[in-house]
Structure 1
Amino acid sequence: MLVSELFSKALPNPESVRDTLGRHLLTDGYSMVLDMVESQGIYLRDAVTGKQYVDLFTFYASNPLGMN
């Protein structure tokens, strides 16, 4: 099984992530939904819009927990 197939089965639809999170916590600061498959290194991709961003904050605290 490819990683992309695994993520597509395990993760919710990107468009519904904010609604799902909004039922449980305040989501005012969550404007981007991280695309776990297409994001590589310092390049982060928004799963909803498809825009690519350069990570200038370097995920200093959260990257050790995993992204790629």
Structure 2
Amino acid sequence: RTKEEVEREKLRDPIVLFRDRALKAGVLSDDDVKKIEKDVNDLVDEAVAFADASPEPPASELFTDIFKESA
């Protein structure tokens, strides 16, 4: 994707749009947004640490649960 495409799509990001609407409506404060963003970043960091610490699955599991067998 071009830089312009990425920038255009950022303007349509539903999370950003929701945040901006909630701030404008007074439903969330700047402090609320900062706390939510910190909580989300902490959860992502935990998930990454868990994944990094987990053993690699065996090659035999590579295609497990990827698609549904048709009848």
TM-score scaled by structure 2?
0.24
Greater RCO, CA 8 A, separation 6+ = 1
TM-score scaled by structure 1?
0.25
Compare the two structures and name the one with the higher helix fraction.
Answer: 2
Q: Which has the larger radius of gyration?
A: 2
